[in-house]
Amino acid sequence: MTERTASPRLGCDLPDRLLAVRAAEGDEDSFAVLVQRHSRSLLTLARCMLGNPQDAPDRRR
């Protein structure tokens, strides 16, 4: 298991690029920050692409 380097609270001031690198290296907290930061826009995009708002939350994952 990888060492966690950033809690979601601490990672809030880090740029997406750095969080993405850390997430790609297995840092679950950095990934959580990215998900928290962008989940609303991803849900909106999924709703637009699917045309069925009820399917969007499942497809966001």
pLDDT of residue 19: 95
Q: Are the beta carbons of 42 and 18 closer than 8 angstroms?
A: no
Q: Give the C-alpha separation, 23 to 33, whole Å.
A: 9
pLDDT of residue 32: 93
Count CA atoms within 13 Å of residue 19 on its CB side: 22
Could you tell me which of 25, 37, 27 has the C-alpha nearest to residue 4?
A: 27
**Residues in the chain, total:** 61
User: pTM here?
Assistant: 0.60
Q: Give the C-alpha separation, 47 to 1, whole Å.
A: 35
In tens digits, the chain (61 residues) has pLDDT values of: 344 444 555 567 899 999 999 999 999 999 999 999 999 998 888 888 877 667 666 665 5
